[in-house]
């Protein structure tokens, strides 16, 4: 796998020949505002990809474009199809859960299974029943009686019962408590991810999903600032824990980010570098693993809001 250099907006997570999603010089505008700005990336089969960015970074716009809900400039193919021109065909093999899981409040869950059976050629009611058994949702329940977490779990069960190749999730656990979020992701990984299907997840709960991801895409003000596998993060980025006495020497080496570590004892600070810093700099600290949160702050922070002051 190869990955983009910071700021180029070009990323390869898979070769175009095998990719489920391919974007080349993709831009999306709303009037004079460019919500997605010249991004290029691919997503391979069997990957769980986190799409990270601040509010307004372009995440939802990009996801909508993947299912044909936004006009684009440049090239975008999803499952080998044009999302706008081939939208009906695309949605037979790609599933999308927006940031608000909406189900008709008047319906019983068993009514939803019947509706989906009539609407989607690749929906399996038997599969949906099996998935619902993992939840506290009953077939006889009315949607209006379900908690928000139960609605989200029911929505995932219905979506995962479609024999799709790509699932796109936009803040799927927004507003849920930690137990509901955990149950959601456990069902997603256990019952849908099979090594061939891919999932693209947009979320602000980076710490919770880091262990689930195989790859990450980071957007900042519409531009792709990082696209990389989590395996390659450890190879590319170096974080050094250190004390305050060497802070100025660390700063002179121009790290991406300097921050205060929590509960770290003798090395209360850390500096993150893109690539191996010089040996004399490495000798000043102790190597630690940068988290996705650390990298996200490093690559998307505004200088005037930099939290790195020691």
In whole angstroms, give the CA distance from residue 90 to residue 140.
32
pLDDT tens sequence across 94-143: 999 887 767 899 999 999 999 999 999 999 999 999 999 999 999 999 99
Of 42, 50, 19, 48, nearest to 219 (Cα)? 50
Task: Give me the helices (H) in the chain, please.
Answer: 59-66, 87-90, 109-119, 125-132, 148-160, 178-191, 206-209, 230-236, 247-252, 279-282, 292-300
pLDDT tens sequence across 69-83: 999 999 999 999 999
Residues 6+ apart with CB under 8 A from 113: 125, 128, 129, 139, 158
The DSSP call for residue 277 is P
| H, E, C per residue of 20-70 | CEEEEEEEEEECCEEEEEEEEEEECCCCEEEEECCCCCCHHHHHHHHCCCC
Supply the pTM of this predicted model.
Answer: 0.86
* Cβ–Cβ under 8 Å, residues 197 and 162: no
User: What per-residue confidence (pLDDT) applies to 306?
Assistant: 47
Cα separations in angstroms, 183 against 132, 136, 177: 12, 11, 10
What is the maximum span of the chain, computed from C-alpha positions, in angstroms? 68
Residue 16 has pLDDT above 70, yes or no: no
Q: What is the mean pLDDT of residues 15-23?
A: 80
| CB environment 256-280: b (16+ within 10 A), e (fewer) | bbbbeeeeeeeeebbbbbbeebeee
* Strands 215-220 and 223-229, bridge-based pairing: antiparallel
Q: What is the mean pLDDT of residues 38-66?
A: 95
* Strands 257-260 and 166-170, bridge-based pairing: unpaired
Q: What is the mean pLDDT of residues 161-171?
A: 94
User: What per-residue confidence (pLDDT) applies to 173?
Assistant: 87
pLDDT tens sequence across 242-267: 999 999 999 999 999 888 887 667 78
**Percent of the chain having pLDDT more than 70?**
91
Average pLDDT of the chain is 87
In whole angstroms, give the CA distance from residue 197 to residue 167.
8
pLDDT tens sequence across 272-306: 999 999 999 999 999 988 888 888 988 887 544 44
CA-atom Rg of the chain in angstroms: 21
């Amino acid at each position: 796998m190869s990955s983009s250099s910071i700021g180029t907006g070009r990323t390869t997570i898979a070769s175009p020949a095998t990719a489920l999603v391919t974007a080349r010089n993709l831009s999306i505008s709303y009037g004079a505002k460019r919500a997605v700005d010249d991004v290029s990336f691919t997503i391979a089969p069997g990957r769980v990809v986190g799409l990270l960015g601040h509010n307004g970074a372009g995440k939802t716009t990009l996801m909508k474009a993947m299912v044909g809900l936004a006009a684009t400039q440049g090239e975008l193919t999803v499952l080998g199809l044009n999302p706008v021109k081939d939208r009906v065909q695309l949605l037979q093999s790609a599933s999308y859960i927006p940031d608000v899981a909406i189900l008709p409040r008047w319906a019983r869950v068993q009514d939803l299974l019947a509706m989906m059976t009539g609407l989607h050629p690749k929906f399996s009611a038997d599969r949906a029943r099996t998935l619902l058994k993992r939840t506290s949702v009953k077939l006889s329940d009315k949607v209006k009686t379900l908690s928000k977490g139960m609605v989200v779990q029911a929505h995932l069960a219905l979506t995962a019962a479609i024999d799709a190749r790509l699932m796109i999730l936009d803040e799927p656990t927004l507003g849920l408590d930690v137990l509901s979020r955990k149950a959601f992701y456990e069902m997603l990984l256990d019952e849908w991810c099979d090594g061939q299907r891919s999932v693209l997840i947009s979320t602000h709960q980076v710490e919770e999903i880091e262990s689930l991801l195989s790859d990450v895409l980071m957007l900042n003000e519409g531009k792709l600032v990082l696209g990389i596998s989590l395996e390659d993060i450890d190879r590319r980025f170096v974080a050094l824990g250190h004390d305050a006495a060497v802070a100025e020497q660390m700063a002179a080496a121009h790290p991406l980010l300097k921050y205060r570590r929590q509960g770290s004892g003798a090395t209360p600070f850390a500096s993150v570098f893109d690539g191996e810093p010089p040996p004399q700099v490495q000798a000043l600290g102790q190597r630690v693993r940068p988290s996705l949160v650390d990298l996200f702050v490093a690559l998307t922070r505004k200088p005037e809001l930099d939290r790195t002051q020691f």
